[in-house]
Amino acid sequence: MIPEIDLDPFSTAFFDDPYPGHAAVRETAPVVWLPAIGSYGVGRHAEVHHMLMHWEEYPSSRGVGIRDYKVHPPLRGPSMILETDPPLHTTRRAVLNQALAPAVVRGLRPAFEAAAAALVERLLEQGEIDGIADIAEAFPLGVFPDALGMEPGGRENLLPFGNFVFNSMGPDNALLAASLAELPALAEWATRQSQRDRLRPGSIGMMIHEAADAGAISHQEAPLLVRALLSAGVDTTVNGLGAALFNLARFPDQWARLHGEPGLARGAFEEAVRFESPVQTFFRTAGADTELGGMALPEGAKVLMFLAAANRDPRRWESPDSFDITRNAGGHVGFGAGIHMCVGQILARLEGEAMLAALAKRVARLEITGTPVRRYNNTLRGLRSLPLRLHAA
Ligand code: Z7Z
């Protein structure tokens, strides 16, 4: 028997304090039933990791949101990359791998580091800042669209579009309704911005179009793959950086370590992704009757993977609830795992490292000067505002 747990993982009460719910899902059984959403839930690292690694058992083509595409039509065109299985997934993924390859991202480092250093100087003059608007949003928005090759106009659409994409995986709640109201204009913009004539030569976006010229993918697929990067590439890094700042500010001993050794910036970002899990959850669907953690799952079962719970599973981590920038956070599932593991992770890590290292060099202390305000989304965890004072070194 699979035990039931009475919680709605897409409610604002849950978002305000998800940790007791995560512990209940994780500690009750390897698999639980969540009547509030009519889905199974999995919160242990071993089972979440198993599902991520076995796409044949848990395909993504039936949707990674709560809706089973076999039963309910998608709210938008399904993701051309995340919501596909091999062999379709394989060729498209190879193109994105190439456009976001280590060598490509390495070429972006000098510009990212210069942008981070310049931002820190401006913020130090300001003194009192909002860690979310002025750093977590400003930095990715300042560097990612240029790397992707976007035109200057319309960038204000990126965050609202991402907000919709990540709300769309959840149930029909008020968050999704609010996002859907904005969708038509945003979707039209995103489609337009993904066309070849809107992208800068030499950019990551243009490389995807050039892969179509070379025959690796079709000319219909290319703009849709550019659009995938524009959907998934901004809000995720914004919330990753926000998570790092929030926890470094909350735990001053950790800031002191980073300030003393800015080379720890990369590890600090990684630990923030483990500890806060900016992408909290998504779903898979059982492709056939199967078994998970010794429990039977029927064909068609939707299973909600609590990445955040797995990232604090005491079976996998020592002192999982302590934020420790010197720990080896490797093996967390904050970027997923397996064939769909975050294709932009190298770029995301560069953004995190560049920004945190620039701050660490110049800021002796981060002081929280007001109440942090949470931002609610069906998939993403993060803040709307984080009032900070930067104390120059
Ligand atoms: O292709 C897409 O539009 C797309 C949207 C969302 C691709 C990926 C994601 C995504 C990324 C979903 C991270 C969950 C976590």
Mean pLDDT of 58-71: 96
Q: Where are the beta strands (DSSP E) in the chain?
A: 32-34, 39-42, 128-130, 281-285, 290-292, 295-297, 302-306, 363-368, 373-375, 382-385, 387-392
Pocket test for ligand 1, best of 60, 64, 66, 82 (most atoms within 8 A of CB): 82
Q: What is the pLDDT of residues 320-345, one digit of tens each?
A: 999 999 999 999 999 999 999 999 99
Indicate if the alpha-carbon torsion angle 380, 338, 234, 159 is positive or negative.
negative
Strands 302-306 vs 39-42: parallel, antiparallel or unpaired? parallel
Domain that holds residue 229: 12-392
Is 201 within a domain? yes
Is 74 within a domain? yes
Is 5 within a domain? no
Helices assigned H by DSSP within 132-234:
138-148, 158-167, 174-193, 204-213, 221-232
Mean pLDDT of 233-260: 98
Pocket test for ligand 1, best of 166, 208, 281, 335 (most atoms within 8 A of CB): 166
Ligand 1 center–CA 66 separation, angstroms: 14
Q: Domain of 330: which CATH number?
A: 1.10.630.10
Is 106 within a domain? yes
CA atoms within 13 A on the CB side of 278: 30
- Structure confidence at residue 233 (pLDDT): 96
> In angstroms, rounded to a whole number, what is the distance separating the alpha carbons of residues 168 and 65?
7
φ, ψ of residue 280 to 5 degrees: the values are -80, -40
Ligand 1 center–CA 305 separation, angstroms: 15
Is 4 within a domain? no
Ligand 1 center–CA 289 separation, angstroms: 27
φ, ψ of residue 2 to 5 degrees: the values are -90, 120
Total H helices, total E strands in the chain? 15, 11
State the DSSP string of 159-174. HHHHHHHHHTTS-SSH
Q: Which atom of ligand 1 is nearest to the CA of 379?
A: 14
Is 279 within a domain? yes
pLDDT at 376 over 90: yes
pLDDT band at 74 (very low <50, low <70, confident <90, very high): confident
pLDDT at 75 over 90: no
Q: What is the pLDDT of residues 297-323, one digit of tens each?
A: 999 999 999 999 999 999 999 999 999
Is 1 within a domain? no
pLDDT band at 34 (very low <50, low <70, confident <90, very high): very high
Ligand 1 center–CA 100 separation, angstroms: 15
Nearest CA to ligand 1 atom 2: 228
Count up the domains in the chain and report the number: 1
Q: Which atom of ligand 1 is nearest to the CA of 80?
A: 1
Pocket test for ligand 1, best of 194, 230, 231, 273 (most atoms within 8 A of CB): 231
Q: What is the pLDDT of residues 87-132, one digit of tens each?
A: 999 999 999 999 999 999 999 999 999 999 999 999 999 989 999 9
Nearest CA to ligand 1 atom 15: 279
Query: What is this structure's pTM?
Result: 0.97
- Structure confidence at residue 73 (pLDDT): 83
Ligand 1 center–CA 231 separation, angstroms: 7
Residues 6+ apart with CB under 8 A from 361: 120, 262, 393
pLDDT band at 79 (very low <50, low <70, confident <90, very high): very high
| Span of 70-74, 84-88, 100-104, 255-259 with lowest mean pLDDT | 70-74
Q: Which atom of ligand 1 is nearest to the CA of 282?
A: 14
Which residues have any ligand 1 atom within 6 Å of their CB? 79-82, 165, 228, 231-232, 236, 279, 282
pLDDT band at 363 (very low <50, low <70, confident <90, very high): very high
Q: What is the pLDDT of residues 274-291, one digit of tens each?
A: 999 999 999 999 999 999
Ligand 1 center–CA 256 separation, angstroms: 35
User: Which strands, in side-by-side order, build the sheet including 363-368?
Assistant: 128-130, 387-392, 363-368
> In angstroms, rounded to a whole number, what is the distance separating the alpha carbons of residues 10 and 227?
26
Nearest CA to ligand 1 atom 13: 232
Q: Which atom of ligand 1 is nearest to the CA of 236?
A: 13
Ligand 1 center–CA 228 separation, angstroms: 7
Is 245 within a domain? yes
pLDDT at 258 over 80: yes
Nearest CA to ligand 1 atom 9: 232
- Residue bearing tokens 């483990």: 274
Pocket test for ligand 1, best of 79, 191, 235, 284 (most atoms within 8 A of CB): 79
Question: Measuring CA to CA, how many Å separate 86 from each of 83, 283, 356, 368?
Answer: 10, 18, 37, 47
> In angstroms, rounded to a whole number, what is the distance separating the alpha carbons of residues 55 and 286?
10
Indicate the helix (H) or strand (E) that contains 243. helix 235-250
Ligand 1 center–CA 187 separation, angstroms: 15
- Structure confidence at residue 234 (pLDDT): 97
- Structure confidence at residue 285 (pLDDT): 98
Nearest CA to ligand 1 atom 3: 228
